[in-house]
Structure 1
């Protein structure tokens, strides 16, 4: 497979648009957790700010956060993490008029222009042809295995099928997974399958219901809690199959963000929502490709944290964000929340992960 990184074209800062622009206005935060009036809110695109006559790129961005000037660079800070006195960029104009420039055309795109004003099939649905998307995923993951960081975001549906669990474990062992983010349910049902052969009491291969199977996920959680950690549970029970066991054996980090509806939960689940958000952001801090599967809320959360670019070794490169879900509503909801760079594939996630494994782990 061959794959080439799209080139990035930075703004031409010799143009009058930039040379005549004023320095950006910096206003101290009035108190902890509060931005000054007319604060600038970040997008998913590369953004530049003119400070002391120099245009500075916010190298690590996040949508819906505020830019803060500190130590000669632009930091991007969540509102809740602002400290009194932080120098916050203010201004709502984004084409240089206030020393702010949002560069949304930096990457070359393979778009087919058409003069037709009336055309069919411009959306993404279960009727869309996805053959090219699959090939692009295979080529991208081959590249990122050597040059990037791949993070997967998974819902519990990924753990309900024997073949899907085995396929993802193969991807972990083959080096196509650098991190995983999920909730209590994905880990619980995957560990239940490794421990008892069921997910929510149903055999992950035959779909037969086990006697008193509704206890199985609770028994699994309780046993993990007895051992004190997922790692110790896997080690002591000699579990050798599934998603979480593969991550544990290959020393791949994972973040489990809690929910108000969680059973148990497992010891590693982070119950404080803001601590979970911090852990998720740390997980994707250097991620260059994110693939979300069958988890709408986790996908939206990750999409809101994930910019359209990264600065790697001084060079700006694009990031890639995929959302895979059987529900058209879920993938469209993600796009509606501002994650405009998302590529969506409407399909069964169990089939998706098996197809990816079959084409990469040969």
Structure 2
């Protein structure tokens, strides 16, 4: 058995192979059977008149890449949120971040329907930031709201409020069908062009997280200890929130709201990588991408030949894990 300090190196070494395997499986299997030869030709000898080639190039390949990226973005965002809040229940889906994105996109579809591409990504990121500010702003005004369970409840209620408000506005303006994509995540409809446009934003968010990793490790020990180690706590938290807004906003813009990735994966990364966020953040990215890719592949076979919504698959893992964390933590922050 590998020692715990060797596991991260093993995972990073195997990650490229596993990632390629996930992409191959994701491209090969679906409602329509397509031979491996057709897959090869679709990628390297594309024929625009071949329907199978069109499916591979414009649906399955972007879907495979999107699942890996979105899983990585959400997992890294969850890891950073747990580190800066010292809250094991912190994640983009539980603390209103993803709901803020969907709310912002809803308003955008109503009042600026021509917005698309990189502008839509920016709107989604601003929505993520709004969701975080709303939850943490209210938690600072409510006594005891910083405890994991209370903060999670507050985030869940805020998310329900934003979703309900967005639903009401969408129905009033008759755009409910148009925005259903972002409420019910659909990786099979992911836009290849949007993936390309999101890369620069994602690189910025990832670089910020890596630059902050050492500071987040100190911050996870507590604000006072972090200050004693010379960290500028408010600046670190602000930069971390920006990074989370960037990556979470991209995820929602690409495929809609996908829950529990940012809750589950960072804990696995911490079990493997210890307490150093210079390992936890990249580990979360690698494991998150693989986890969502696996869930996406599984969603095609649970009710074959029909697809099960990806949110149902992630919830099958996420809900029991959430209940386990509540029982284990007992409402207390780690430190």
TM-score bracket for the superposition, by shorter chain length: under 0.3
Larger proportion of helix: 2
Q: TM-score, normalised by structure 1?
A: 0.23
Task: Please say which structure displays the higher CA radius of gyration.
Answer: 1
Q: TM-score, normalised by structure 2?
A: 0.24
